[in-house]
Amino acid sequence: MDNERVTVVKEFRFEAAHYLPDYDGPCKNLHGHSYVLQIGFAGEVDPKTGMVADFSKIKYGMSPVIEVLDHSLLNSVEGIGFPSALPTAESMVVWLKRSIQERLEKEMNSKLVFVRLYETPTSYAEWRA
């Protein structure tokens, strides 16, 4: 493999509820979503392992994050810098990006290049490097 850059993507799913207190529309009321989170790491394929990033390490590193969010009221998440006052998909993506970089990027031989959070099957927010 001749120094080819490849992006690997791991997907996570979680259920959570939230409300947007200052929003003038139906989302000001308590409601839930089936979130889908996709995170991508890019780098060169390691000639020894044949991998850019180990999917099992990504899953293990993300487990505590997903556990905090799954089946929670996002407006009540405390103590981890989560944007609980205004848990929009956009603010969650920024928080997720920072959390993933802190938790995983150091031990990966690759760089976080995108975070995509689906709030519904047809709507998502995304950060890209």
Pairing of strands 5-18, 123-128: unpaired
CA distance linking residue 10 with residue 56, whole number of Å: 10
**52 contacts 109 by C-beta, under 8 angstroms:** yes
CATH number of the domain located at residue range(s) 5-128 in this protein? 3.30.479.10
* Strand-pair partners of 121: none
**Each residue's pLDDT tens digit, 68-88:** 999 999 999 998 899 999 999
The per-residue pLDDT string of the chain (129 residues; one tens digit each, 9 = 90 and over) reads 567 889 999 999 999 999 999 899 999 999 999 999 999 999 999 999 999 999 999 999 999 999 999 999 999 999 889 999 999 999 999 999 999 998 887 777 789 999 999 999 999 999 999
pTM of structure: 0.92
